[in-house]
Chain A
Amino acid sequence: MGTTIPTLLLSLEKQTFNYSTMKKLLPLLFIIVVLYGCVDCGPQQELTVGINFHREKDSLHLNQVYALGALDQQIFNKQTEDFNNSRLFLTLAFPISLLTDSTTYVFEFENRTDTLTLFYQRDFYYKKDCGFVVDTKKPARSEDSKSTFSKVNVSYDSYLMEKVTFTGGTGGNGINVDVTL
């Protein structure tokens, strides 16, 4: 009998500590496992592009914006309102067509009209546990946009996040456009 009563009590205390600590950590471990096991399905609806407007003077008034071939132009009323209420820099989300590989927007300002045509490649495929998903890729053609704006820069990223983490994941930015008026 090499075990004394204090040693036995100490080991019991240790066991209790380990058990209660484990009990507290278990939900945390569960959350970590669940979050790391998460899959980003990405958008399963009409996609939007983020258009960042850089304007040199804030007095430019937008009368209306619309997209060619759009069945519903209602969403663009909100974009027009937001554009006119903002200052020098502004980012607005515009829907893109899933029916074609390009979308053309017409911006009617007070004293001029500009057009912006975005090119992209639609990618529809089946993703396990998600269903059919839609994403876009850089267009096969050399030009990514056509516009009457002074400068347009288009960046392409997947709409699906690469990895879902605690902070929200990486990637999934989709198409972003920088427009200098």
Chain B
Amino acid sequence: MKALFSFLIVCLVSINASAQKIYSTPVYVGIDVVKGIPSYVFPEKYFIRKTLVIEPYVRFNRQKPGKSILISAGFAKGSSKIDPSRQVSSQQFQGIYFKMAFEASNRRIPISGGVGPMFSISGFKSNYQFKGPTFGDYTGSFHEKESLAFGAEGYVAYDLKLNKKLSLRFLIRNAIAIRPGDMPPPDYYPGIGYTKDMSQLLFSGGFSTQLFFRCK
């Protein structure tokens, strides 16, 4: 997992380096500033608990006006909300993901839309329980080391310029992915989002906020 994460970072850096040569400036680097925070603020109410999500971005313009490419590699580690009424009351997850989007921007208003492929490699740990009123409950454990999901993500974003270098991006995103194999449904899939009760076809959407810094 660590090796793969390092590999993705190297890829990201090299793509960024070559992008600066091939494509026109400016180049933006960004990071998601919202994901994971509610899980620390409302650990008992939010659908994930104490979840670390690191999602950096690189965005550079293509030679066509109003067109750009966004590349991101992310990491998420945490656990889902505890629900004692379920057979699997909570899940622990850890995963890395890679996303790319081809983006088009409106030239008059700062609204952009993007769509592109994504894939995620994640691991899940959980305990399941069988009620045993006579002899006591049985608790078993389940560990899915590496689960692969691949699909696409689309978004609509609004860019708010803070100053010459910094901008905030508010976006609505939707991801759809396929996860081969008959494994227990993940409560949260890193890179995709809330996927409770979805085992093979994963679909999730949400809002997010990203902070971008203009490099050149």
- Chain A residues within CB distance 8 Å of chain B: 44-46, 67, 69-72, 75, 95-99, 103, 124, 126, 128-129, 131-132, 134
Chain A residue nearest to B144 in the complex (CB): A126
A129 to B136, CA, bound (A): 26
Task: Collect the chain B residues with CB atoms within 8 Å of residue A129's CB.
Answer: 199
- Interface contact B87-A72, CB-CB below 8 Å: no
A70 to B136, CA, bound (A): 8
* Chain A interface helix/strand/loop/mixed: loop
A46 to B184, CA, bound (A): 21
A46 to B199, CA, bound (A): 26
- Interface contact A45-B131, CB-CB below 8 Å: yes
- Interface contact A71-B140, CB-CB below 8 Å: no
Interface membership of B88, Cβ < 8 A: yes
Q: Which residue of the partner chain, among B135, B182, B199, contacts A98 with CB atoms under 8 Å?
A: B135
Task: Collect the chain B residues with CB atoms within 8 Å of residue A134's CB.
Answer: 130, 138
- Interface contact B88-A131, CB-CB below 8 Å: yes
Q: Which residue of the partner chain, among A69, A71, A99, A126, contacts B138 with CB atoms under 8 Å?
A: A99
Task: Collect the chain B residues with CB atoms within 8 Å of residue A71's CB.
Answer: 134-136
Contact sample, A vs B, 12 pairs, CB 8 Å cutoff: A69-B135, A70-B134, A71-B136, A95-B135, A96-B135, A97-B134, A99-B135, A126-B183, A126-B184, A128-B199, A132-B142, A134-B138
Digit string of B131-152 for contact with A (CB within 8 Å is 1, else 0)? 1111110101010000000000
A96 to B87, CA, bound (A): 20
Chain B residue nearest to A94 in the complex (CB): B134
Task: Collect the chain B residues with CB atoms within 8 Å of residue A95's CB.
Answer: 132-135
Chain A residue nearest to B128 in the complex (CB): A132
- Interface contact A99-B142, CB-CB below 8 Å: no
Q: Which residue of the partner chain, among A46, A124, A128, contacts B132 with CB atoms under 8 Å?
A: A46
- A91: shortest Cβ distance to chain B, in Å? 18
- Chain B residues within CB distance 8 Å of chain A: 87-88, 128, 130-136, 138, 140, 142, 182-184, 199
Q: How many A-B residue pairs have CB under 8 A?
A: 65
Q: Which residue of the partner chain, among B134, B135, B136, B184, contacts A131 with CB atoms under 8 Å?
A: B184
With A126-B182, A131-B88 in contact, do A44 and B134 touch (Cβ < 8 Å)?
A: no
- Interface contact B133-A46, CB-CB below 8 Å: yes
Chain B residue nearest to A98 in the complex (CB): B138
Task: Collect the chain B residues with CB atoms within 8 Å of residue A126's CB.
Answer: 142, 182-184
A45 to B142, CA, bound (A): 18
- Interface contact B142-A97, CB-CB below 8 Å: no
- B140: shortest Cβ distance to chain A, in Å? 5
Q: Which residue of the partner chain, among B135, B138, B182, B184, contacts A70 with CB atoms under 8 Å?
A: B135
- Interface contact B140-A124, CB-CB below 8 Å: yes
- A137: shortest Cβ distance to chain B, in Å? 16
Chain A residue nearest to B87 in the complex (CB): A131
- B24: shortest Cβ distance to chain A, in Å? 50
- B29: shortest Cβ distance to chain A, in Å? 41
Task: Collect the chain A residues with CB atoms within 8 Å of residue B142's CB.
Answer: 126, 132
- A-B residue pairs, 9 tightest by C-beta: A98-B138, A97-B135, A95-B134, A132-B128, A128-B182, A46-B132, A124-B140, A131-B87, A45-B131
- A162: shortest Cβ distance to chain B, in Å? 19
- A136: shortest Cβ distance to chain B, in Å? 13
